[in-house]
Structure 1
């Protein structure tokens, strides 16, 4: 476990594992076995459950906040997986995430940057509903209007509430609920 955490924390290659640890091949084999068995996901889920309870909330999340972030893609990312986001003037990918009210990740979908938020949200909300049947409300910013709201309510039984910008506000301002997902991106 120490060797795996050392690799993750240091962002190093397996072959660069110091000699104080077991052989890199052995550590990698254990990591792979745990990943395939779902052990890492169970550990993450247990830790998130404990954090929610410690914060005075239910163990299972009942609300989520969704948003997206466009990031530049490296030249090694195939053109078929990246796109141009005209609003951000970025050639890259878009990360769509759903978080609970504490900012803990619930679901992630990565698309080309050219995909509109409301289109990718179908996949994100389906993944969210598939993993968390306890979610009863989803908050989103103004990038998710229209038919998505009806689809989410009718097909997934996920009512959505859009948090709009304050009228007349210019530049950045903190909006209720949406700031949690923005903090998760940061």
Structure 2
């Protein structure tokens, strides 16, 4: 992490309990070193035990990762970064529209049979990442399931969570796999318009579809993080946390860029 990134990140970090008078002991390693270690693992796809000696011991880094995962601190940190990125882009801190889609990825051998499945459409044995992003391509929520879980069934749960957390959200674009009763459910139960962007039958080859390209660009970013090319996580919670960590790297680099001068 560059000094410019750290200057932006430091005020957004959750405050440790011992600093708020809630007990506990000061941590042995600074947050910057811990964040750099996790970002290195996500970006390069290394094993926990193969953490380079430049970083704190791997078991201390994993304990930090596990604590932030279990207490939802990585999502809190991620959401604070997302609001900052949106505000610097001249947008409201909370989005009014988004895009939903899913991505199936192969699972490593450490992934148990209870959390993996076979996606017959993509011919992938592994897990599926269901995501909702805003119109800037920033993550609003992710839910990881076995690959054989249907998009509509997962979307009903995911969109319920997203609308509860982001009240201004009123419109979500989706592809043809989300048609059917889900559209009526979103309107009646969530006061959310689910707009289906369909591919025309006469289209041939690759065609950029309105709004859907935003979430495809998001998936392309995930594929640049080697830890996310496959699913290497033993638990669903860790798989979701890795997605949030990957997005924090994208956003810290974005907010650390100098703002263009205005004449």
Per the TM superposition, whether the score is higher than 0.5 is yes
Distance 1:44 1:89 in 2: 32
| Segments of 4+ moved more than 2 angstroms | 10-43
The answer to whether the aligner puts 1:9 opposite 2:40 as a matched pair is: yes
Q: TM-score, normalised by structure 2?
A: 0.63
CA shift, 1:2, in A, is 2.2
Q: 1 or 2 for the larger relative contact order (CA 8 Å, sep ≥6)?
A: 2
The answer to whether the aligner puts 1:158 opposite 2:192 as a matched pair is: yes
CA shift, 1:55, in A, is 1.8
The answer to whether the aligner puts 1:145 opposite 2:176 as a matched pair is: no
Aligned length: 186
The aligned counterpart of 2:167 is 133
Check conservation: 1:139, 1:178, Cα contact below 8 A. Answer: yes
Distance 1:77 1:183, change over 3 A: same
Name the structure with the higher strand share.
Answer: 1
Distance 2:131 2:189 in 1: 20
Check conservation: 1:163, 1:178, Cα contact below 8 A. Answer: yes
2:178 counterpart SS class: coil
Q: CA RMSD in A?
A: 2.3
The aligned counterpart of 2:90 is 56
Distance 1:92 1:35, change over 3 A: closer
The answer to whether the aligner puts 1:123 opposite 2:157 as a matched pair is: yes
Distance 1:20 1:185 in 2: 30
Distance 1:72 1:18 in 2: 26
Q: TM-score, normalised by structure 1?
A: 0.86
Segments of 5+ residues of structure 1 without an aligned counterpart are none
CA shift, 1:124, in A, is 1.2
Segments of 5+ residues of structure 2 without an aligned counterpart are 1-31, 221-263
